[in-house]
Amino acid sequence: MVEVTVSPPASLVDRPVQLHVRGLAPAQLVTLRSLLLDEQGEAFQARAFYRANQAGEVDPSQQPALGGSYSGLWPMGLFWFLQPDTPFRRLLKRDVAGSPFLVHLEVYDGLCLVTKPQDQPLASCKAERWYVAPGVQRVPIQEGRVRGALFLPP
């Protein structure tokens, strides 16, 4: 049974996470895909092709991507190389304190350049990427023409 895990499952956006895929056949070629929907429902995704090691595992921090949105050794590539489905869209987070970005991580058999709705992943999981740590207080600042926010630690 194929399993994909992200550790920790909830983290701040500037913190690295560990992605690991288990249960593959040795030397199996797979596509790892990340998908994020922003606050307006716009899709951003990245994909990378990997070959499983002799234990049937893929660890992006130890194995280079063979192609896709990036190639080479990029442990956080599925997060850093997210691209919009609609050209010229920018990934913005307006509600930084209230909710995280949910990144869906999926594993597909073989090379998947385009994922159709009927395509079923071998395994999937979700990662929460927060902009503000628990307990941080956001204080709006307004002085003359200056607008901003002060984030106070707990």
Q: Structurally, how many domains does the chain consist of? A: 1
What pLDDT, on the 0 to 100 scale, is given for residue 71?
97
What pLDDT, on the 0 to 100 scale, is given for residue 21?
98
Helix ranges (H only) for 8-76 are none
pLDDT one-digit tens code per residue, 42-68: 999 999 999 999 999 999 999 999 999
- pLDDT > 90: what percent of the chain? 88
What pLDDT, on the 0 to 100 scale, is given for residue 97?
85
Dihedral-angle region of residue 153 (phi above 0 means left; psi in -120 to 50 means alpha; beta otherwise): beta
pLDDT one-digit tens code per residue, 33-45: 999 999 999 999 9
End-to-end CA distance of the chain: 42
Helix (H) or strand (E) holding 83: strand 83-84
pLDDT band for 111, please (50, 70, 90 cuts): very high
Q: Domain of 70: which CATH number? A: 2.60.40.2240
What pLDDT, on the 0 to 100 scale, is given for residue 35?
97
pLDDT band for 95, please (50, 70, 90 cuts): confident
Domain enclosing residue 37, as ranges: 3-152
Average pLDDT over residues 77-97: 93
- pLDDT > 70: what percent of the chain? 100
